[in-house]
C-alpha cells in the first residue's frame, strides 16, 4: 500500500501506452488525427475547467480554485480500454475505435501536463499567462519531438537485425521505457506524449519491419505485456485506495457527504464529457471521416477513467504527505478516494453497458449486404469443408463414421441442402450500390493480404510494402464514390518526378544521377510487379468465391483496367533495360529459395528427423544468407 506512485507510472504506463499506439492503423490515425487532437487538446482543457468550476462551487470541502482545477485535470484523462474492446469485438467502424483510443492516448499526455501545471500552482508557484503558454508548449511539443527522435533511432537499429524475434521484442520494450524515463525524469517533459508519439510512429512506419511469424509473435507479446500491466496497476491502485479509506475512516465518518458527493461527481464527469463533445460536434463532423449523432453518443459514454488518473491522484497524495504548508494530507486522501471512485463507477456503469447502448442505437447490426454475404459464405464454407473431410466417412484404421450423427452435432450442416440466395441477386439500385462497394472492399482486402504475403516471401522490400499498403488504404476511402483507384496513389512513386530533368541537367556527379535513376527504376518495377500480382491473386479469389455475378465482373474489370499502366511501364523497362528486370527477378528467386530451404529444415525438425541442434545450425546458415541478400538488395 506504500508503493511510490511515480514507480507505478514508470513501471507499467510505458508498456500500456506503446501497445495501444502500436496496435492502431496508420491510415486511420492520419485521417482521424484532427478529431483526436480536438478532443485531447481543447477537449481536455474544457473538461478541466468545467469540472474544476463544479468542484469549486458545489464541493463541501472549501477547496481553492487551484485545488479544484487540479482534481478536474486528473479526472479529464480517459482510459476506454473496456469500450474499445467491445467495439472491436462487435466489429463496429474502425473510425470510432481509432478516435476513442487515439483521444485517450493523447489526452493522457495533455492531462499530465495540466496536472503538472496546477500541482505547482497548488504548491505555491505562481505563473503569468506567458509562462503558462511557455510551460505547456515546452512540455508537450518537446515531448513529441523527442518521441519521434527515439522512434527514428530505434528503427535504424532494427534495420541491422534480421528475423530475430527475441531481439525485436527486447528492443521495442527497451526503447519505450528508455524514452519514458529520459523525458519524464531527466528532462521533466511529458513521458506519456513521448511514448505515444513513439508508438504511433512505429504503427505508421515499422509494422512492415517485422516479418511473418515474428510480426504475430510481437503482437502477442505486447498484448500479454499490456494485459499484465493493466491488471497489476488496477490491483495495486485498489489496495492503495482501500488502505487510504480504512486509515482515514474517522475522516469519512465525520464527512458523511463524501460518498454522496462521489455520486454527484460522477454525474459532473458525464455532463462535462457531453458538453465537450457537444461543443466540438460540428468540428468533429467536418474533419476526418466525419461523425454522426449516434457515434457522438458512444464517444460521450466511452469516457472511462483508468490508470493515468489513479497514478496522478496517488502522486498528489504523496505530495500532500510531505512537509509543506499548501496541501493538507486529508486533501490527498480525498483525491485518491474520488479518483478511485470515478474509475470504479465509469468502469462498472459505462464499460459494462456499452454493448447494450450499441444495440439500442442499432450500431451492432450487420448491414443487408453483409448479412447476405455472411449467409452465403457460411453455406460455401460448409460445402467445402464436407468435400475436404469426405474421406473421413470411411477411415482405413477405424472404419466408417456415423455421418448422420456428425451432422446432428454440427447444427450448421442440418439445413445445408436448403436453397441459398447469392448475395448479389437483389437488383435494387440501393442494394446494387452497397454490393458494389462491398465487392471493391473485399478485393482491396485481398490485395493488401497479398502484399503482406509478398513482404514475408521477400518479393518486395519494406519501403515498397509501405507504399503499396498506403495505396490500398487511400483507395478504401473512395470505394463508395469511385471505381478502384489504388493505382492512382502509386503513379507518383513509379514515374520519374518533375525535378528529374533539373537533376539530369545539374552539375551533380554522373555516378549519383545514375544511382538515383537505377534506384527509381527498381522501385517502380517492384511496385508495378507487386501491384499486378496482388490484383491477379485477389481477382481469382473473388471470382472463386462469388462466381460470375454482375458485381464480381464489374469489380474485376475495374481491377484489370487499373493494371494497364503498370503493365505498360514494365514493358517499356523490358524494352529499354532488359537486364534490370532480370536482376530483380534473380533477387526474388534467390530469397524464395532460401526461404524454402529454411522451411524444409523446420519441417524436418518437427517430424523428428533432425535434432534441435542440427536444425539450429542449418537454419542459421540460411538466415545469414537471407540477411546478406537483404543487405545487398
pLDDT tens for 215-232 read: 888 888 998 988 888 788
d(CA 439, CA 556): 9
Measured CA angle at 70 (ends 64, 73), to 5 deg: 140
Question: Is the pLDDT at 631 greater than 50, yes or no?
Answer: no
Task: Compute, in degrees rounded to 10, the torsion defined by CA atoms 123, 124, 128, 130.
Answer: -40
Least confident of 50-59, 327-336, 450-459, 492-501: 492-501
Residue range 417-425: average pLDDT? Answer: 62
Name residue, grid cell 508537450.
140
**538, 446 contact by CB (below 8 A):** yes
Q: What is the pLDDT of residue 254?
A: 52
The residue with greater pLDDT, 39 or 333, is 39
Q: Model confidence at 5, in pLDDT bands (50, 70, 90)?
A: low
The residue with greater pLDDT, 263 or 259, is 263
**15, 233 contact by CB (below 8 A):** no
d(CA 119, CA 312): 10
Contacts of 454 (CB under 8 A, 6+ apart): 460, 465, 530, 533, 534
Question: Is the pLDDT at 462 greater than 90, yes or no?
Answer: no
Q: What is the pLDDT of residue 13?
A: 82
Name residue, grid cell 454527484.
264
d(CA 458, CA 530): 11
- For residue 92, the SS3 value is coil
Q: Provide the CA 158 distance to its chain's centre, in angstroms.
A: 20
d(CA 136, CA 73): 14
pLDDT, averaged across the chain? 81
CATH 3.40.718.10 fits 5-360, yes or no: no
Question: Is the pLDDT at 627 greater than 70, yes or no?
Answer: no
- For residue 395, the SS3 value is strand
309-367: pLDDT as tens digits: 887 887 888 777 776 667 787 888 888 888 888 988 988 898 888 888 888 888 877 67
110-145: pLDDT as tens digits: 877 887 788 778 777 777 777 777 777 777 788 889
Question: Is the pLDDT at 292 greater than 70, yes or no?
Answer: yes
- How do the domains of the chain map onto residue ranges? 5-360, 368-413, 429-576, 585-632
Q: What is the pLDDT of residue 595?
A: 76
Amino acid at each position: 500500500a506504500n508503493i511510490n506512485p511515480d514507480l507505478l507510472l514508470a513501471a507499467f504506463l510505458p508498456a500500456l501506452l506503446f501497445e495501444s499506439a502500436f496496435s492502431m492503423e496508420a491510415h486511420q490515425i492520419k485521417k482521424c488525427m484532427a478529431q483526436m487532437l480536438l478532443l485531447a487538446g481543447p477537449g481536455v482543457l474544457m473538461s478541466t475547467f468545467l469540472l474544476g468550476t463544479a468542484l469549486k462551487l458545489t464541493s463541501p470541502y472549501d477547496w481553492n480554485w487551484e485545488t479544484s482545477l487540479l482534481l478536474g485535470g486528473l479526472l479529464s484523462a480517459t482510459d476506454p480500454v473496456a469500450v474499445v474492446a467491445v467495439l472491436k469485438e462487435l466489429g463496429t467502424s474502425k473510425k470510432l475505435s481509432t478516435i476513442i483510443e487515439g483521444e485517450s492516448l493523447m489526452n493522457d499526455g495533455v492531462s499530465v501536463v495540466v496536472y503538472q501545471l496546477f500541482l505547482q500552482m497548488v504548491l505555491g508557484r505562481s505563473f503569468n499567462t506567458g509562462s503558462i503558454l511557455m510551460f505547456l508548449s515546452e512540455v508537450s511539443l518537446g515531448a513529441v519531438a523527442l518521441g519521434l527522435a527515439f522512434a527514428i533511432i530505434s528503427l535504424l537499429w532494427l534495420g541491422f537485425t534480421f528475423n530475430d524475434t527475441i531481439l525485436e521484442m527486447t528492443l521495442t520494450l527497451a526503447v519505450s521505457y528508455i524514452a519514458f524515463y529520459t523525458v519524464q525524469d531527466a528532462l521533466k517533459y511529458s513521458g506519456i506524449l513521448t511514448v505515444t508519439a513513439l508508438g504511433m510512429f512505429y504503427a505508421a512506419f515499422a509494422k512492415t519491419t517485422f516479418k511473418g511469424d515474428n510480426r504475430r509473435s510481437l503482437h502477442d507479446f505486447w498484448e500479454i505485456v499490456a494485459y499484465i500491466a493493466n491488471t497489476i496497476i488496477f490491483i495495486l491502485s485498489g489496495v492503495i485506495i482501500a488502505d487510504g479509506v480504512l486509515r482515514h475512516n474517522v475522516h469519512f465518518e465525520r464527512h458523511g457527504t463524501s460518498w454522496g458527493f462521489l455520486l454527484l461527481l460522477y454525474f459532473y464527469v458525464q455532463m462535462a464529457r457531453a458538453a465537450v463533445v457537444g461543443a466540438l460536434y460540428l468540428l468533429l463532423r467536418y474533419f476526418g471521416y466525419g461523425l454522426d449523432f449516434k457515434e457522438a453518443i458512444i464517444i460521450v459514454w466511452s469516457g472511462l477513467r483508468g490508470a493515468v488518473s489513479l497514478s496522478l491522484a496517488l502522486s498528489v497524495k504523496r505530495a500532500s504527505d510531505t512537509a509543506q504548508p499548501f496541501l493538507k494530507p486529508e486533501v490527498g486522501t480525498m483525491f485518491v478516494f474520488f479518483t478511485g471512485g470515478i474509475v470504479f463507477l465509469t468502469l462498472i456503469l459505462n464499460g459494462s453497458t456499452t454493448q447494450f447502448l450499441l444495440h439500442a442505437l442499432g450500431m451492432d447490426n450487420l448491414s443487408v449486404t453483409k448479412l447476405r454475404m455472411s449467409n452465403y459464405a457460411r453455406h460455401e464454407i460448409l460445402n467445402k469443408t464436407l468435400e475436404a473431410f469426405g474421406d473421413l466417412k470411411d477411415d482405413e484404421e477405424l472404419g466408417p463414421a456415423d455421418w448422420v450423427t456428425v451432422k446432428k452435432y454440427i447444427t450448421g450442416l442440418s439445413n445445408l441442402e436448403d436453397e441459398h440466395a447469392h448475395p448479389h441477386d437483389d437488383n435494387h439500385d440501393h442494394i446494387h450500390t452497397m454490393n458494389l462497394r462491398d465487392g471493391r472492399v473485399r478485393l482491396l482486402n485481398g490485395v493488401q493480404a497479398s502484399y503482406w504475403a509478398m513482404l514475408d516471401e521477400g518479393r518486395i522490400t519494406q519501403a515498397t510494402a509501405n507504399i503499396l499498403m498506403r495505396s490500398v488504404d487511400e483507395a478504401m476511402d473512395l470505394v463508395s464514390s469511385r471505381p478502384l483507384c489504388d493505382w492512382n496513389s502509386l503513379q507518383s512513386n513509379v514515374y520519374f518526378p518533375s525535378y528529374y530533368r533539373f537533376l539530369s541537367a545539374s552539375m551533380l556527379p554522373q555516378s549519383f544521377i545514375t544511382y538515383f535513376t537505377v534506384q527509381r527504376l527498381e522501385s517502380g518495377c517492384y511496385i508495378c510487379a507487386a501491384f499486378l500480382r496482388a490484383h491477379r491473386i485477389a481477382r481469382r479469389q473473388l471470382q472463386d468465391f462469388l462466381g460470375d455475378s454482375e458485381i464480381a465482373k464489374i469489380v474485376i474489370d475495374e481491377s484489370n483496367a487499373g493494371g494497364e499502366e503498370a503493365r505498360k511501364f514494365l514493358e517499356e523497362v523490358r524494352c529499354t533495360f532488359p537486364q534490370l528486370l532480370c536482376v530483380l527477378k534473380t533477387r526474388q528467386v534467390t530469397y524464395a529459395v532460401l526461404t524454402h530451404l529454411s522451411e524444409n529444415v523446420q519441417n524436418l525438425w518437427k517430424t523428428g528427423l533432425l535434432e534441435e541442434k542440427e536444425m539450429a545450425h542449418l537454419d542459421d546458415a540460411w538466415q545469414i544468407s537471407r540477411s546478406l541478400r537483404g543487405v545487398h538488395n
